[in-house]
Structure formats: C-alpha cells, structure tokens
C-alpha cells in the first residue's frame, strides 16, 4: 500500500469527483473501496494487462472513451483536462498508472457507463455487489472480501482519519 485511505479520499478522489460535479459520499466511498480491492491502495499497480490503482485494462479504458464519453462531451472535456497534455497522446494507458485523478475519473466513468444506481454511502454490501458486477463480472469478484477490505482500510475513524494497513 502506498496511500492511506484518508490521503486517497481527500487528495485525489473527492477533488476529482467535485471537479466532475459528481461528488456524493456514496460515490467517494465506492471509489475508495474499489482502489482498496483492486490494488490494495496502490500496493500492486499492475495485474496482467490491468493498470493503476483501479486495475483498468486498455480495452475497458478505450470502451469508456468510445462508448460513454463520446456521448458525454462536457464530461469528456473534463476527463481529458485531467490527462497530461503530451503523456496522454503518447501513452494513454500510462495515464492510468501515473495520473491518479485521471485514473479516478475513468474508474468513475466505468461505474457511470454501467447505468447502475450508486449505493448509499453506508451500504458497503451494495457497493461490493456493484463492484463485482461492473469491475469483475468474469471471473466473479468476491463480495465478502470487498466488504472485509473496506471495513479494515477504507472507513474513517471517529476523528475522520482513514485507516492504514499494517
């Protein structure tokens, strides 16, 4: 793990969602939990052909642009604005590794592209099912592991601090 859930939440996810005008506590928690489940908050940034803290494949990345953002020009402009000016043109998938706000925007677009309703901020079970259905339909992701990992690493303590893995 290279991030605490608090750092990722407050310095990357929340500002990105607010920039996209899509912030809710539920959307923020969903993306924190997704980063925990996919990469252990940055512990493993590549798994096979999936990259970054959300383990997004090149095919899924391209699908976001070709099938979702193409129909959302304002959102596409905002997302493109998060990408590096030259880096994106040279290696768009590299942005998923090196640009946390861009990767977060793409992960958010994956959930939006699914058309599913974003669960309430405290419904981690529903978030786990949505993650499984959207991010890991084949092979099916483990809902129980998602819930356990979020409870251990993603929730805030009474002072508003995210937990850090030992």
In a domain, 161, yes or no: no
Domain span at residue 90 reads 5-153
The predicted pLDDT at position 145 comes to: 86
Per-residue pLDDT tens digits for 37-46: 998 877 666 6
Is position 149 within any domain? yes
Give the 3-state secondary structure of residue 91: coil
Whether residue 159 is contained in a domain is answered as: no
Number of domains in the chain: 1
Query: Is the predicted pLDDT of residue 157 greater than 70, yes or no?
Result: no
* In-domain check, residue 165: no
E strand spans, the chain: 46-47, 50-51
Who wins on pLDDT, 149 or 15? 15
């Amino acid at each position: 793990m290279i991030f605490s859930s608090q750092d990722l939440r407050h310095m990357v996810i929340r500002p990105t969602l607010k920039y996209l005008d899509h912030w809710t506590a539920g959307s923020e928690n969903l993306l924190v939990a997704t980063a925990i489940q996919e990469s252990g908050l940055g512990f493993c940034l590549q798994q096979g052909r999936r990259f970054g803290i959300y383990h997004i494949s090149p095919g899924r990345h391209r699908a976001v642009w070709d099938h979702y953002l193409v129909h959302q020009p304002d959102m596409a402009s905002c997302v493109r604005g998060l990408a590096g000016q030259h880096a994106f043109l040279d290696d768009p998938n590299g942005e998923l590794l090196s640009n946390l706000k861009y990767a977060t925007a793409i992960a958010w677009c994956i959930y939006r592209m699914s058309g599913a309703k974003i669960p309430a901020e405290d419904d981690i079970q529903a978030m786990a099912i949505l993650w499984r259905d959207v991010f890991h339909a084949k092979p099916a992701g483990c809902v129980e592991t998602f819930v356990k990992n979020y409870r251990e690493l993603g929730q805030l303590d009474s002072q508003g601090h995210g937990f850090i893995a030992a």
